[in-house]
């Protein structure tokens, strides 16, 4: 999946009122600019042809000023700029929330190089945001380290994620589907592999998903070889699995890792084979990733991957 064409296409196929406001403004400004271009090009070529020198006279006759012309080329652009200003303010009011004094529906935190998402309900997920179709959600973004930028081209504008300075945007989608999101601010080695998915579900499906995400890992899984390995190895120093002793949130919460579509913020599809490969040597797949090589044998990596696949 190459991201650039998808992102470029995404901007021009908006799937929310907020993204539509932005692309509508773009088209209006494009038409205005095209009109200006045509008029200026016509005037220049017309003047070149109409007023070219026909004699051997070296210095053309001098014109001292033309009140009507000067008024036209001063007032005309002024009116255009004011018009674009008004359209921009209207577009911004459609695309952006005013500072809302209420808790956000979800908080998205940028990490080098993955995304942590907290829902108002208490659900904590990574790299895959689910939202109900048609609902306008207030999203607060911030960062734990450098400046990142949250961008889902088909759904909303870009917004900077700055540590200690939370920003807010709307997230809304007109139709169910899966939309690609990226980090849009260079944030270090693996900036390009800081992606996420926004999965838009019908309301009932979203509620089921959220209820599932709130559950702890089933106690019955504790007998799996992978579950025991997880608790014995260094995994617990960085990751949380609700319902077990693992509580750390340095890396992604893994309570429902098996329900996610991708690994490593978009670099691999989430299959047991890919998960095994990832666990064997994360740097070989995403060089620069902050997860250290856990030094597992093939069998241990496969056991862990089998356990993760059960964490739905
Ligand atoms: Cu995070 Cu670029």
pLDDT tens-digit series, residues 228-245: 999 999 899 999 999 998
Strand pairing partners for 171?
137
- Ligand 1 centroid from CA 199, angstroms: 20
Q: How many angstroms does the Cα of residue 88 sit away from the middle of ligand 1?
A: 27
Between vectors from CA 196 to CA 146 and to CA 233, what angle results, nearest 5°? 75
Atom number in ligand 1 closest to CA 161 = 1
pLDDT grade, residue 1 (50/70/90)?
Answer: very low
CA of 122 relative to ligand 1 center, distance in Å: 25
Query: What are the tens digits of pLDDT across the range 43-92?
Result: 999 999 988 877 777 777 777 888 998 999 999 999 999 999 999 999 99
3-class DSSP state of 265: coil
Q: Which atom of ligand 1 is nearest to the CA of 113?
A: 1
Cβ of 190 closer than 6 Å to ligand 1, yes or no, is no
Report the SS3 class of residue 2: coil
186 lines ligand 1 (CB under 6 A): yes
Cα-to-centroid distance, 306 and ligand 1 (Å): 30
Nearest CA to ligand 1 atom 1: 148
Q: How many angstroms separate the CA atoms of 94 and 253, rounded? A: 34
pLDDT level of residue 2 (50, 70, 90 thresholds): low
Phi, psi of 183 (to 5 degrees): -85, 130
The whole-number average pLDDT for the span 245-267 is 93
C-beta 185 within 6 A of ligand 1: yes
302 CB less than 6 Å from ligand 1? Answer: no
The residue ranges of DSSP E strands in the chain, in sequence order, are 106-111, 114-119, 124-126, 128-132, 137-143, 148-151, 159-161, 167-171, 177-183, 195-201, 262-263, 268-269
**Nearest atom (ligand 1) to Cα of 187:** 2
């Amino acid at each position: 999946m190459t991201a650039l064409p998808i992102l470029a296409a995404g901007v021009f196929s908006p799937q929310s009122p907020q993204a539509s406001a932005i692309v509508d403004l773009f088209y209006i400004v494009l038409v205005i600019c095209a009109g200006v271009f045509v008029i200026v090009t016509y005037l220049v070529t017309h003047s070149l042809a109409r007023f070219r020198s026909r004699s051997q006279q070296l210095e053309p006759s001098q014109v001292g000023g033309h009140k009507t012309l000067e008024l036209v080329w001063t007032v005309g652009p002024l009116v255009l700029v004011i018009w674009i200003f008004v359209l921009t303010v209207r577009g911004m009011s459609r695309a952006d929330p005013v500072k809302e004094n209420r808790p956000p529906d979800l908080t998205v935190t940028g990490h080098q190089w993955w995304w942590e998402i907290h829902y108002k309900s208490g659900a904590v997920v990574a790299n895959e945001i689910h939202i109900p179709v048609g609902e306008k959600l207030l999203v607060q973004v911030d960062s734990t380290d450098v400046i990142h930028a949250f961008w889902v081209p088909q759904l909303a504008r870009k917004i900077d994620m700055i540590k200690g300075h939370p920003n807010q945007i709307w997230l809304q989608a007109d139709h169910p589907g899966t939309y690609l999101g990226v980090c849009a601010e260079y944030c270090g080695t693996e900036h390009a592999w800081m992606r996420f998915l926004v999965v838009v579900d019908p309301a009932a499906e979203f509620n089921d998903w959220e209820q599932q995400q709130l559950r702890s890992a089933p106690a019955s899984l504790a007998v799996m070889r992978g579950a025991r390995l997880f608790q014995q190895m260094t995994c617990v120093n960085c990751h949380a699995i609700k319902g077990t002793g693992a509580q750390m949130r340095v890396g992604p919460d893994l309570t429902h890792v098996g329900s996610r579509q991708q690994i490593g913020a978009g670099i691999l599809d989430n299959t047991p084979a890919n998960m095994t490969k990832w666990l064997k040597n994360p740097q070989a797949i995403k060089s620069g990733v902050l997860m250290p090589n856990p030094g597992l044998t093939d069998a241990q990596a496969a056991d862990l991957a089998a356990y993760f696949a059960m964490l739905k």
